[in-house]
Amino acid sequence: MQATVRSFDPDTQDGELLLDDGSPLSFSGHAFATSGLRLLRLGQRVRIEMDASGEVTRVTLATLP
């Protein structure tokens, strides 16, 4: 699934995404840390992985096939 970065706090590494339907979705610093990324920019497209409960477990850069 892909989303757009709505907010990102570089200190806590927590943030919020906007899904393509406009719904907000928060992610934790842990989900960001598993990506290996160092920073996210507002408006950046990302790929997200979620667990069965709907919690974001990983945020990575969206890439073209």
9-18 pLDDT tens trace: 999 999 999 9
Contact between 5 and 28 (Cβ < 8 Å): no
Helix ranges (H only) for 1-65 are: 29-33
* Claim: this prediction has a pTM higher than 0.95: no
Q: What angle do CA 43, 46, 50 make, to 5 degrees?
A: 130
Q: What is the pLDDT of residue 65?
A: 64
Contact between 25 and 31 (Cβ < 8 Å): no
Q: What is the pLDDT of residue 62?
A: 85
- Give the residue extent of every domain in the chain: 2-61
21-56 pLDDT tens trace: 999 999 999 999 998 888 999 999 999 999 999 999
Pick the CATH number of 2-61 from 2.40.50.140, 3.60.15.10, 3.40.50.720, 2.40.110.20: 2.40.50.140
